[in-house]
Structure 1
Amino acid sequence: MYAEVIVEVLNYVGIVAFAVSGALKAGEKNMDLLGFITLGFSTALAGGIIRDVLLGRVPPVNIVYLPYPATAILASVATFLLYPHVRRHKDVVLYPDALGLGAFAAIGADVTASYCSHHGAASCWLLVVMLSSITAAGGGVVRDILAGEIPLILRREVYASAAAAGGVIYLATLPLGREAAMLITISAVTAIRIAALWKGWELPKVVSQPGAH
């Protein structure tokens, strides 16, 4: 019971933080109010929408459960109205964002594992890992595409990979109980993300030689 309340509270923290992140991107691109709302809404909710569509859960929860889109839209509008102040302190958003990443990863893993259980799938660990990552990071990909950029998670940042690790952690701890698995997943993903921010961790990539074609 208490675990579900904690997860739901952190889910709202994530919606607000992700919406602010998307709205800040809109500000960087000199978009109007609709642009702020579109990028804020997409960043906060598109990952869960994609997950639900892939699982055949239509219409997606992030659309039909009014408090979720309302929270994302209000956070986006607030960022628009307070943009100079929010932009000045944008680094503060990184820590609620990390909590949101953990919550979204855990929720994505839980929803997918529940789907597998109800549909009699004996093993769908890969699906759980993939949709945990998509739930948490899919909105950021949509945001960057709408902003005309290569998605940040494909260039740098331990972000989607942290969420994918959350899917593995959820499955590994599920024998302890669903609520325990979700709380452990949130804690682990949040810790990985914050450590990556502090240490500057990035995934390996090819370094192009200057002047090479």
Structure 2
Amino acid sequence: MCRVWILSIPTGNPVRLGWDAQKSPIRTSPHWRVTPPNGVATPPSAQNLLLSAAQLPGAGWTPQSDSDPEATELQETTQPECSNQSWILRSADMTDMAGASWTFDAAAEVETISSQAFVYPDAAAAAAAMASYRDLVGRCTSWQSVLTAKGYTYAESQEMFDASVGEESVARQAGTTHVRLTDLPTFRMYWVTSRVGQTIVQVTYRPGSLLGTNQGRDQALELASTAVSTAENRTK
């Protein structure tokens, strides 16, 4: 399930879906930063693989302290594994990870971009993590999630789309629709996850509800291309 959703309802009060604002963001830490043995090349820092504010589309993006696009706990859903799909990238072999996120609130609806990076001991370990992720994404096509504190139920749908960036990529489009308030629009989020050698970079883009699907995918792919280029330059 996508971590941040803000819907404007007739009362004028924002509804936050499926996440706890007090959860800790992804960041690099001594726990995840593993020192390689002597004689082995030092892998890139995950922090150095993230997008920067200067690489975002246009100006006016505000950095956020919470950089994880998904909840840090499993959500109550009809298919629990689908609520936190990119968790599977945090395999036992992973040596470092980092994240950053920004919001743009000068438009009619808040937009969100996030950038994440995962580092592994070698390309084989990264490829194995990507394979597991691709398999999971392929199984998550339609499910329902419930935010029990408020009693809201949401229909979640997901489909994959083509992305030719990096050495291999998985791109998915997720949609969230309120089950009872059917007059509310479907809010979509776009994910592109790409492998570059022993690293995986992931970007997400959540636009306003009025943006067309093709435009949303194109923007996500543009961000992914930038992230892959950064990773390629950092891993040379």
Q: Which has the higher contact order (CA 8 A, sep 6+)?
A: 1
TM-score normalised to structure 1 length: 0.30
More strand by share: 2
TM-score normalised by the chain length of structure 2: 0.27
